[in-house]
């Protein structure tokens, strides 16, 4: 699966990019027809501690899943978003099995 990672208002270090790619790679366990995914990481300029925003778009044939999470760290936000995506992908797979 191809992972596009973009960071807005900051420069992402290699460790963060590797973490994102490893975590998204695990999604293929739940749904093996994932084409690509886009990850947008943003830092909001607010005084709140939860100012890290991660938006993940996962492209599958004939569909697209979008999840947006806001947390204290990017790792936490990516992990939370991937958990939501896992549930969505499992539901999609179950629907496909039910139709077949």
pLDDT in tens, 46-82: 778 889 999 999 999 989 999 999 999 999 999 999 9
Direct distance between the N- and C-terminal alpha carbons of the chain, in angstroms, rounded to an integer = 25
89-99 pLDDT per residue, tens: 999 999 988 98
Q: How far is the CA of 70 from the CAs of 1, 56, 81, 100, in angstroms? A: 24, 12, 9, 37
pLDDT number for residue 99: 84
Q: Report the mean per-residue pLDDT for the chain.
A: 92
Delineate the domains of the chain, giving CATH numbers in brackets: 2-99 (3.30.160.100)
Alpha-carbon Rg for the chain, nearest whole angstrom, is 14
Contacts made by residues 88-91, CB under 8 angstroms, sequence distance 24+ = 89/27, 89/30, 89/31, 89/34, 89/58, 89/60, 89/65, 90/30, 90/31
pLDDT number for residue 90: 93
pLDDT number for residue 49: 84
């Amino acid at each position: 699966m191809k992972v596009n990672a973009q960071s807005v208002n900051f420069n992402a270090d290699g460790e963060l990019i590797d973490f994102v790619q490893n975590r998204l790679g695990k999604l293929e366990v739940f749904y093996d027809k994932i084409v690509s995914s886009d990850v947008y990481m943003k830092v909001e300029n607010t005084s709140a501690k939860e100012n890290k925003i991660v938006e993940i778009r996962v492209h599958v044939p004939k569909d697209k899943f979008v999840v947006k999470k806001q947390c204290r760290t990017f790792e936490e936000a990516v992990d939370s978003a991937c958990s939501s995506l896992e549930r969505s992908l499992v539901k999609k797979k179950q629907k496909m099995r039910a139709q077949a």
